[in-house]
């Protein structure tokens, strides 16, 4: 059986590199991320060779195409790392199935799976399915849901509480945020807020009370009137000659 030869029009890479660039002119960006302008493709290759790097066509649909001087190996590694990070950040809904009378070892295995899903950023829907006579005892399913919630309480929060829908009991868990409030985590009361006067150390204090008015000084007694002088201007107690 003959194999079909590979089609030459199909590029092997997403980007054309070095000799794969066949256009006569390109708009060049050098290794320092500076616009060089429109140059011939041969001149662009020469600049890339002198820098010890590759000439990569980054915008083939432009007129003329845009090429950049870079290390193509590092560029491909950065692109793959970015794509892996985006795929991990994408959250999906995972299902965790349990039974009302589940064995403890089976439940531990399901909890390991659920913890892994939550740590990867996915939401987990816990489903408990009742069959036959088990539907007459819904408390068994709620008990299993409580055990799952307590076991995964450090990495998850209940987004939708357990709810019975026909023969299925469902509960939705999501990843717990890392920025939990310290007061809520410790269960203590909130610290009292400082008063406005304490928050402003340079704020003036209350005005001092006015001093009581001083009592008016008592009036001194008036001096006694002087004795009238005698006719010959002598003191009254001196006898006459």
Query: Distances in Å between the alpha carbon of 119 and those of 15, 146, 147, 215, 230?
Result: 35, 20, 19, 83, 127
Q: What is the pLDDT of residue 188?
A: 46
Q: What is the pLDDT of residue 169?
A: 93
Q: Give residue-wise pLDDT tens across range 96-113.
A: 999 998 998 999 999 999
What is the domain partition of the chain in residue ranges?
18-84, 93-175
User: Which pLDDT band, with edges at 50, 70 and 90, does 189 fall under?
Assistant: very low
Q: What is the pLDDT of residue 230?
A: 47
CATH superfamily of 93-175: Translation initiation factor 3 (IF-3), C-terminal domain (3.30.110.10)
- Asked whether the predicted pLDDT for residue 158 surpasses 70, the reply is yes
pTM of the entire structure? 0.40
User: Which pLDDT band, with edges at 50, 70 and 90, does 238 fall under?
Assistant: low
Closest by CA position to 26, among listed 61, 50, 76: 61
Q: What is the pLDDT of residue 112?
A: 92
Q: Give residue-wise pLDDT tens across range 47-94.
A: 999 889 999 999 988 889 999 999 988 888 888 887 776 555 556 889
Cβ distance 197 to 203 under 8 Å?
Answer: yes
Q: Give residue-wise pLDDT tens across range 113-123.
A: 999 999 988 99
Q: What is the mean pLDDT of the chain?
A: 76
CATH superfamily of 18-84: Translation initiation factor 3 (IF-3), N-terminal domain (3.10.20.80)
Closest by CA position to 155, among listed 183, 120, 108, 104: 120
Q: What is the pLDDT of residue 226?
A: 54
- Asked whether the predicted pLDDT for residue 142 surpasses 90, the reply is yes
Ranked by mean pLDDT, the top range of 47-61, 165-179, 219-233 is 47-61
User: Which pLDDT band, with edges at 50, 70 and 90, does 219 fall under?
Assistant: low
Q: Which two tokens stand for residue 132?
A: 């036959």
């Amino acid at each position: 059986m003959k194999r079909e030869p590979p089609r030459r029009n199909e590029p092997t890479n997403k980007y054309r590199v070095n000799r794969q660039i066949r256009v006569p002119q390109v708009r060049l960006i050098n290794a320092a991320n500076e616009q060089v302008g429109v140059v011939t493709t041969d001149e662009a290759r020469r600049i890339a060779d002198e820098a010890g790097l590759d000439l990569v066509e980054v915008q083939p649909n432009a007129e003329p195409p845009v090429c950049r001087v870079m290390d193509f190996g590092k560029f491909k590694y950065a692109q793959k790392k970015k794509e892996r990070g985006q795929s991990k950040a994408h959250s999906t809904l995972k299902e965790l199935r349990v039974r009302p009378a589940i064995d403890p070892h089976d439940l531990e295995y399901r909890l390991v799976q659920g913890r892994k899903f939550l740590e990867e950023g996915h939401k987990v829907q816990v489903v408990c399915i009742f069959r036959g006579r088990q539907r007459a005892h819904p408390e068994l399913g709620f008990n299993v849901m409580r055990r799952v919630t307590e076991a995964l309480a450090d990495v998850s929060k209940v987004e939708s509480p357990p709810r019975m829908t026909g023969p299925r009991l469902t509960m939705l868990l999501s990843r717990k945020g890392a920025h939990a409030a310290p007061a809520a985590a410790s269960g203590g009361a909130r610290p009292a807020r400082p008063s406005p006067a304490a928050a402003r150390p340079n704020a003036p204090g209350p005005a001092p009370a006015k001093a009581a008015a001083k009592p008016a000084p008592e009036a001194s007694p008036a001096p006694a009137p002087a004795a009238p002088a005698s006719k010959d201007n002598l003191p009254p107690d001196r006898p006459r000659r």
